[in-house]
Amino acid sequence: MFSAIEPADLSPLQALDLSLWPLDRSVQVFIKRDDLLFDARAPYFCGNKWRKLKYNLLAARKQGHTTLLTFGGAYSNHILATADAGQLFGFSTIGIVRGEEHVPLNFTLRNAQKRGMFLHYLDRTTYRKKNTTEILQRLEAEFGPCYVIPEGGTNALAMQGCAKLGPEIEGQFGESPKYIALSCGTGGTMAGLLSGLEMEQTKVIGFSALKGDFLQQEVQDLLAENQRQTKASWQINTDYHFGGYAKFKPELIDFIRRFKMVYDIALDPVYTGKLFYGVFDLIGKGSFPNGSRIVVVHSGGLQGIRGFEERRGKMW
Ligand SMILES: Cc1ncc(COP(=O)(O)O)c(C=O)c1O
């Protein structure tokens, strides 16, 4: 039943024409188009969510589960991706949402619900304890046995899915790129990518979408907890969070609009917009040596644009 989504497994690697952007630097940029990694029947089950959920869905099915239960904020890409994947593959889904219910529902939750997800709200204090045995037992008592996927989808099986990203890029590239850049929230995608990279000369830069400098430790812990190592060197860049998770500034929105106009590629204001802004800014500042080939991972998440638009007006 999962074979139907296999062909979407290989997302394109696309060269970006930097002569279209006022950047006077001799580097090359390629986009790993994971935003195109989806099944047309479930377009929000896409990008890094596709990679993170794939092995979890297989495990849930193998263990005989019929219900997926997961966690997220009201604008979570992961919540909607899980609802979409659940509907596609015949799982019931329960979304445990942080905070109070707001009616009418926003785009994310409305569409999760449309896909059959049952939404259950936890106040912020209880939500913070969501991974404790007490809360998990309480949820199980209420909803019955479920396959539980953590917030953001990050677990060992998610890392297994993301570990394919490196060899895929290396295969499509023919050699190892000097740099791979990607957006980070929980760090799961980055830890998975790092664990799968075969070539030592690649440097991976994770651009944090959140304020704070905890992600370096988080990625290290994820690698250690899952007994995985990496051959690549890596770092977390914390300079482009624009004030924190889901925060933005007008220059970020201008950048996203311009990027769409020039390359006809949409970026979202929460993750990939900040990532590409950061990469282009660093290129402009000469932070990448001349001749560098940089692969930037477009991890999807474009439904985030709709949430932005509901609050702020049309993006384009
Ligand atoms: C589109 C997109 N890119 C990147 C990330 C960050 O991924 P991770 O939480 O694995 O660091 C997320 C978060 O979930 C996301 O939705």
Structure confidence at residue 218 as a pLDDT band (50, 70, 90): very high
Least confident of 161-165, 189-193, 307-311: 307-311
pLDDT at 110: 97
Query: What are the residue ranges of CATH 3.40.50.1100 in the chain?
Result: 3-37+156-312, 42-153
pLDDT at 2: 47
What CATH class has 42-153?
Answer: alpha beta
For residues 130 and 151, is the Cβ–Cβ distance under 8 A? yes
Structure confidence at residue 7 as a pLDDT band (50, 70, 90): very low
Q: Which residue has the least CA distance to atom 13 on ligand 1?
A: 185
Coil vs helix vs strand at 122: strand
Question: Would the pLDDT of 6 be above 90?
Answer: no
Strand-strand pairing, 28-33 and 233-237:
unpaired
Angle at 105 between CA 104 and CA 106, to 5 degrees: 120
Angle at 105 between CA 104 and CA 109, to 5 degrees: 170
Among 31, 54, 77, 154, residue to substitute to test ligand 1 (most atoms within 8 Å of Cβ): 77
Structure token digits, residue 141: 């008592």
Q: Which residue has the least CA distance to atom 14 on ligand 1?
A: 152
User: Which conformational region is residue 47 in: left (phi greater than 0), alpha (psi within -120 to 50 degrees), or beta?
Assistant: left
What atom of ligand 1 comes closest to residue 183's alpha carbon? Answer: 4
Single out the residue of 213, 218, 231 nearest to residue 186, CA to CA.
Answer: 218
pLDDT at 228: 84
Q: Which residue has the least CA distance to atom 15 on ligand 1?
A: 301
- 39-65 pLDDT per residue, tens: 889 999 999 999 999 999 999 999 999
Q: Which residue has the least CA distance to atom 1 on ligand 1?
A: 301
Angle at 299 between CA 156 and CA 289, to 5 degrees: 105
What atom of ligand 1 comes closest to residue 191's alpha carbon? Answer: 10
Distance (angstroms) between ligand 1 centre and the Cα of 260 equals 20
pLDDT at 4: 46
pLDDT mean over 241-268: 96
Share of the chain above pLDDT 90, in %: 85
Find all residues with CB under 8 Å of 246, minimum gap 6, and list them: 75, 269, 270
Structure confidence at residue 8 as a pLDDT band (50, 70, 90): low
Find all residues with CB under 8 Å of 32, minimum gap 6, and list them: 11, 13, 165, 168, 169, 295, 296, 297, 298
Share of the chain above pLDDT 70, in %: 97
- 130-170 pLDDT per residue, tens: 999 999 999 999 999 999 999 999 999 999 999 999 999 99
User: In whole angstroms, what is the distance from residue 84 CA to residue 273 CA?
Assistant: 23
Does domain 3-37+156-312 fall into CATH 3.40.50.1100? yes
Question: Would the pLDDT of 118 be above 90?
Answer: yes
pLDDT mean over 26-44: 94
Question: Would the pLDDT of 223 be above 90?
Answer: yes
Q: Is the CB of 72 under 6 A from ligand 1?
A: no
